[in-house]
């Protein structure tokens, strides 16, 4: 595969003003006719260069320019391009091709999922539908007609508004849709199927009524209300917070079962992985409900950040994805608990994105080269990109940020632009110079920020010295200093916040502020500090960095109790847990008896005993750092020692705090039994506390705890409680109860694919011995198929990513298993294959024996035959 470079970007030679598409959908093929009204791009130079259209896996049936049919000598047809000589500046191309959605297992372009036709065109899927200039800076007005047999495909949808429809004599019918907005081909969509929908409407801030429809297979019609409520909340929030109004008369969402990612923001016709839109209390957990709310919002928000203003080229992907993730995170924070949302996002970022940033696929938020763009829908583009936007928001303040976003949307509406254009709008609106800040877009890797304090009791000054560095990443040996916003405060010995006055300032200004660290080494000195304070640093995780400050365990316990910033209270608890767990890891490695620092128990006891604390915060504070996070923090990750240390700590917590946990569990469960289910913040908080308490209690392995587990499993009226009880049983030594619960669950939910995904995941994640054999056996379960990405993620993905002790077995069988699945999937679905192999790319984190085994499997994949560009890029970069 060829590498594409940002530096080679050139404006398109030709533009496509109008795109008229006709799809004739049949069971064994589809005919696509495209009429493209084209002209020379005045911005691209003079003369009439050859026109090079993208096209892959297309059977060309006919081709004409300005109604003149072309013969074979009039064009060149290769594997991925069709080249011809345009006759003049303005011309019309007509092409007809045959494609095969019925055998498309890659789920890119036009394909069939559970009997319906649907599309996925981002990033480069449209070229598998017709010959086109398949690049985001070519924007066109689309008109689409589709026809199919009416009884099998009564619903025919595309982007924009329906403008005509009719029947044919042979049982077929057709519909024409017109999208009044210019858009790139990646936002094109069509759907044809036997679908039902729920309908609602939304009155926009300017008083227009928009019809809202969510389509689904008939059996899932009862699972759409939460998605619809989420959509209406999103529309309102975007008006209130960003001043953005919806622009078409209709907004549609369609749920499909086979989908490579979460969802897709096609103009007016979003297509969703069913897991991201279907939700019902009996079949979807609270987490799933929150995910639906977040993904519906994310796709809806793209209508402005992505569709109305789109990307010039795919190197700018974070322009729309980072911004939209930031927007959806703020939406979720406003709809639920802000602190808990931030905790969840930061835990995810630090475990997963930091690992990516420290591995062989590390790349900047705006990459400068790629082989396969599908591989660049990464945590760096999405999550780190969102952190970059959050930092701009922090540095500029909410008001100036909003002015910047207004300017950006006004200035660039209808255009395909760059990250630089976004920054320029922010600078112009705020007057803040972001030149140095832009390094966050161009430099990869996670910066380290070491902080040192010095107190002068005579001068009453307190200074903080920040030293930043960033480790080398592929292609980037040396890094220049970043601008790092550090939100902070100072606490006195009673836990009170001190007024903050920096040297040179006239007076104190508040008790919390943002220090913009921009040099490799930089000191900030506070004056009028009567006694040595305790700093609270990086509040709300104000920058995606690895901050270190030499806190003692007692100081961390103090911050856990007194910090006014909820995020930092949690963070202090995490740092305390990390210190204590790392000590246990050391003990395990030295073959010593494990001994837990009682301060961790004391800290958790006071959290549990404090009934005034938000239950969601209690649940978060009780959760020990994940094994994956502990591995990320290690120089060399000792999988077995980490697992042993964490399990030991969990057992000690369970033993020492059993009575408190039991009391809190009983109170929560009683409330669940007596209150009808609602997916609201208070109930979600209560259930998360209840379930984490149960998971600790279960470690006592007593009959009374098994009884409460079974009671919760049998009698819960919702999936959050039922699944948590199932997970506890699955991880327990009670074989009969476990087998019984698994069988009952599978029998009851066998026809619900999304619930069965959860059933697979719970088992795949179990760290008990024999995990690989259990997963291998489940691959033969009738509900499992490699062709469905959700199933692959639920079983194989959960095993390789969440079950460290079993996946990293010292005989290498876990690695071999994963490589076998990657090789099988490479032929079926390259995008899923390349994502699945991520855990193998992290081989440098492990001991030399495991390194050799993991490398061996990567080499076996490389030698396994014809590799897709997706898999080739990840494997070859991992081995480099």
Supply the residues annotated as catalytic.
299
How far is it, in rounded angstroms, from Cα 720 to Cα 708? Answer: 15
The number of residues that bind ligand HT7 (CB under 6 A) is: 15
Scan residues 817-836 and list those touching ligand HT7 (CB under 6 A). 831
Query: Which own/partner contact pairs does 612-615 have at CB distance under 8 Å and 24+ positions apart?
Result: 614/337, 614/339, 614/340, 614/685, 615/668, 615/682, 615/685, 615/686, 615/688, 615/689
| The only residue of 134, 217, 286, 321 in contact with ligand HT7, by rule CB under 6 A | 321
List interacting residues with Zn ion (CB under 5 A): 321, 324
Distance separating alpha carbons of residues 631 and 434, to the nearest angstrom = 35
* Nearest to ligand HT7 of 159, 766 (CB atom): 159
Binding to ligand HT7, residues 376-395 (CB under 6 A):
377
**Separation between Cα atoms, residue 374 and residue 389, nearest integer Å:** 23
| Cβ-based nearer residue to ligand HT7, 266 or 683 | 266
Q: Which is nearer to ligand HT7, 374 or 788 (CB)?
A: 374
Q: Which of residues 471-510 bind ligand HT7 (CB under 6 A)?
A: none
The smaller minimum CB distance to Zn ion, of residues 324 and 788, is found at 324
Q: Which of 13, 265, 427, 752 binds ligand HT7 (CB under 6 A)?
A: 265
Q: How crowded is residue 408: how many other Cβ atoms within 10 Å of its Cβ?
A: 24
Specify the residue, 122 or 313, whose C-beta has the smaller distance to ligand HT7: 122
**Residue 122 or 752 with smaller CB distance to ligand HT7:** 122
Query: Could you tell me the CA-to-CA distances from 680 to 622, 686, 703, 712 in Å, in that order?
Result: 21, 10, 33, 20
Of 19, 140, 176, 260, which lies in the binding site for ligand HT7, with binding defined by CB under 6 A? 260
How near is the Cβ of 598 to ligand HT7 at its closest, in Å?
A: 46
List the single partner that 123 binds among Zn ion, ligand HT7, none, CB under 5 to 8 Å by kind.
ligand HT7
Contact call for residue 374 and ligand HT7 (CB under 6 A): yes
To 5 degrees, how large is the angle CA 859–CA 862–CA 867? 165
Write the interaction track for ligand HT7 spanning residues 84-123; mark x where CB under 6 A is met and - where it is not. Answer: ------------------------------------x-xx
- 643's enclosing H/E stretch is helix 639-656
Q: How far apart are CA 233 and CA 333, in angstroms?
A: 13
In 3D space, the residue among 227, 289, 284, 282 whose CA is nearest the CA of residue 676 turns out to be 282
Question: Interacting stretch for ligand HT7, rule CB under 6 A, among 298-306, 629-637, 791-799, 836-844?
Answer: 298-306
| DSSP H or E stretch at residue 729 | helix 719-730
Gyration radius of the chain over CA positions? 28
Site for ligand HT7 in 123-142 (CB under 6 A): 123
Which CB sits closer to Zn ion, 358 or 367?
Answer: 367
Work out the number of other CB atoms within 10 angstroms of the CB of residue 50.
Answer: 12
Minimum CB–partner distance for residue 785 and ligand HT7 (Å): 19
Give least dist CB 587 to Zn ion, A: 44
Note every long-range contact of 603-607, with CB atoms under 8 Å and residues 24 or more positions apart, other chains counting.
603/557, 603/560, 603/573, 603/576, 604/573, 604/653, 604/657, 605/656, 605/657, 605/660, 606/561, 607/560, 607/573
Ramachandran class of 243: left when φ > 0, alpha when ψ lies in -120 to 50, beta otherwise:
left
Alpha carbons 43 and 11: distance in angstroms, whole number: 7
Residue of minimal Cβ distance to ligand HT7: 261
The helix (run of H) or strand (run of E) holding residue 409 is helix 398-412
Pick 318 or 802: Cβ nearer Zn ion: 318
Minimum CB distance to ligand HT7, residue 121 (Å): 9
- Which residues fall within 8 angstroms of residue 567, CB to CB, at 6 or more apart? 339, 342, 343, 346, 539, 540, 541
Binds 831: which of ligand HT7, Zn ion, none (CB < 5-8 Å by kind): ligand HT7
Report the nearest approach of ligand HT7 to the CB of residue 240 (Å): 22
Region at 133 (left for phi over 0; alpha for psi -120 to 50; beta for the rest): beta
Nearest-approach distance from CB 305 to Zn ion, in angstroms: 9
**Is residue 854 within 8 Å of 861, Cβ to Cβ?**
no
Question: CB within 8 A of 736, min separation 6: which ones?
Answer: none
Residue 374 interface partner, choices ligand HT7, Zn ion, none, CB cut-off 5-8 Å depending on type: ligand HT7
Decide which of Zn ion, ligand HT7, none touches 215; Cβ closer than 5 to 8 Å per partner kind: none
Tell whether residue 298 is a contact of ligand HT7 (CB under 6 A): yes
For 507-520, letters b (16+ CB in 10 Å) and e give eeeeeeebbbbbee
Alpha-carbon span 834 to 288, nearest angstrom: 25
Single out the segment in contact with ligand HT7 by CB under 6 A; choices: 295-303, 595-603, 675-683, 768-776.
Answer: 295-303
Partner whose binding site includes residue 261, from ligand HT7, Zn ion, none (CB under 5 to 8 Å by kind)? ligand HT7
Could you tell me the smallest distance in angstroms from the CB atom of residue 295 to ligand HT7?
A: 8
Residue nearer to ligand HT7 on the CB measure, 20 or 327? 327
Structure tokens at 472: 């080398």
Q: Which does 377 bind (CB under 5 to 8 A by kind): Zn ion, ligand HT7, none?
A: ligand HT7
Residues that bind ligand HT7 (CB under 6 A): 120, 122-123, 260-261, 263-265, 298-299, 302, 321, 374, 377, 831
């Amino acid at each position: 595969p060829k590498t594409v470079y940002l530096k080679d970007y050139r404006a398109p030679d030709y533009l496509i003003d109008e795109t008229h598409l006709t799809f004739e959908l049949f069971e064994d093929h589809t005919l696509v006719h495209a009429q493209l009204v084209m002209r020379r791009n005045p911005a691209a130079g003079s003369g009439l260069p050859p026109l090079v259209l993208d096209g892959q896996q297309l059977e060309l049936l006919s081709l004409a320019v300005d109604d003149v049919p072309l013969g074979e000598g009039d064009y060149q047809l290769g594997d991925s391009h069709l080249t011809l000589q345009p006759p003049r500046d303005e011309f019309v191309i007509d092409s007809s091709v045959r494609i095969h959605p019925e055998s498309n297992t890659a789920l890119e372009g036009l394909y069939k999922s559970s009997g319906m036709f649907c599309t996925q065109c981002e990033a480069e899927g449209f070229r598998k539908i017709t010959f086109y200039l398949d690049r985001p800076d070519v924007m066109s007005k689309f008109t689409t007609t589709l026809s199919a047999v009416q009884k099998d495909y009564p619903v025919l949808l595309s982007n924009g508004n329906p403008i005509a429809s009719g029947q044919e004599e042979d049982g077929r019918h057709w519909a024409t849709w017109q999208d009044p907005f210019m858009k790139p081909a990646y936002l094109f969509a069509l759907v044809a199927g036997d679908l039902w929908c729920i309908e609602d409407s939304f009155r926009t801030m300017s008083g227009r009524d928009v019809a809202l429809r969510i389509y689904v297979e008939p059996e899932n019609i009862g699972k759409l209300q939460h998605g619809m409520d989420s959509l209406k909340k999103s529309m309102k929030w975007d008006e209130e917070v960003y001043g953005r109004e919806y622009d078409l008369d209709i907004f549609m969402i369609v749920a499909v079962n086979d989908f490579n990612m979460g969802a897709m923001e096609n103009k007016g016709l979003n297509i969703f992985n069913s897991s991201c839109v279907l939700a019902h209390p009996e079949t979807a957990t609270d987490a799933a409900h929150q995910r639906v709310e977040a993904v519906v919002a994310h796709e809806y928000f793209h209508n402005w950040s992505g569709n109305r203003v789109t990307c010039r080229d795919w190197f700018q992907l974070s322009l729309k994805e980072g911004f939209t993730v930031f927007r959806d995170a703020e939406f979720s924070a406003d709809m639920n608990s802000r602190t808990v949302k931030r905790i969840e996002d930061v835990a995810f970022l630090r475990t997963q994105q930091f690992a990516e940033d420290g591995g062989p696929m590390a790349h900047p938020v705006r990459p400068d080269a790629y082989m396969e763009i599908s591989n660049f829908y990464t945590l760096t583009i999405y999550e780190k990109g969102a952190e970059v936007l959050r930092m701009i928001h922090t540095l500029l303040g909410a008001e100036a940020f909003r002015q910047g976003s207004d300017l950006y949307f006004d200035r660039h509406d209808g255009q395909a632009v760059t990250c630089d254009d976004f920054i320029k709008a922010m600078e112009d609106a705020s007057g803040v110079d972001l030149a140095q800040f832009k390094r966050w877009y161009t430099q990869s890797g996670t910066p380290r920020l070491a902080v040192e304090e010095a107190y002068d009791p005579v001068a009453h000054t307190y200074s903080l010295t920040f030293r930043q560095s960033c480790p080398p990443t592929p292609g980037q040996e040396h890094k220049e200093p970043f601008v790092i916003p550090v939100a902070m405060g100072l606490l006195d010995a009673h836990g009170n916040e001190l007024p903050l006055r920096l040297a040179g300032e006239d007076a104190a200004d508040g008790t919390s502020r943002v220090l913009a660290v921009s040099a490799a080494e930089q000191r900030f000195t506070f004056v009028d500090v009567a006694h040595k304070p305790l700093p609270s640093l990086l509040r709300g995780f104000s920058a995606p960095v690895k901050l270190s400050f030499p806190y003692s365990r007692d100081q961390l316990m103090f911050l856990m109790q007194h910090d006014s910033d909820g995020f930092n209270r949690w963070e202090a608890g995490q740092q305390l847990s990390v210190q204590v767990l790392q000590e246990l890891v050391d003990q395990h490695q030295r073959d010593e008896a494990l001994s837990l620092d009682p301060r961790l128990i004391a800290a958790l006891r006071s959290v549990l005993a404090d009934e005034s604390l938000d239950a969601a915060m209690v649940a978060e504070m009780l959760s020990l750092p994940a094994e994956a996070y502990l591995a990320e923090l290690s120089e060399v990750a000792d999988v077995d020692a980490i697992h042993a240390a964490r399990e030991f700590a969990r057992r000690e917590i369970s033993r020492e705090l059993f009575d408190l946990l039991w009391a809190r569990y009983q109170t929560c469960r009683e409330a669940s039994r007596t209150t009808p289910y609602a997916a609201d913040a208070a109930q979600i908080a209560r259930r998360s506390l209840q379930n984490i308490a149960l998971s600790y209690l279960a470690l006592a392995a007593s009959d009374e705890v098994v009884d409460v587990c079974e009671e919760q499993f049998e009698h819960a009226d919702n999936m959050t409680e039922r699944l948590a009880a199932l997970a506890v049983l699955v991880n327990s030594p009670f074989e009969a109860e476990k087998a019984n619960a698994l069988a009952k669950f599978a029998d009851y939910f066998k026809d619900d694919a999304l619930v069965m995904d959860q059933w697979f995941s719970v088992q795949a994640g179990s760290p008990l011995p024999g995990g690989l054999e259990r997963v291998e056996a489940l691959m033969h379960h009738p509900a499992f198929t490699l062709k469905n990405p959700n199933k692959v993620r639920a079983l194989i993905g959960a095993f390789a990513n969440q079950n460290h002790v079993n996946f990293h077995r010292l005989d290498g069988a876990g690695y071999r298993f994963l490589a076998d699945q990657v090789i099988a999937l490479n032929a079926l679905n390259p995008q899923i294959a390349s994502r699945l192999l991520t855990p193998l790319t992290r081989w440098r984190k492990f001991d030399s024996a495991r390194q050799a085994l993991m490398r061996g499997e990567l080499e076996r994949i490389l030698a396994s035959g014809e590799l897709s560009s997706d898999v080739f890029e990840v494997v070859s970069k991992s081995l480099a």
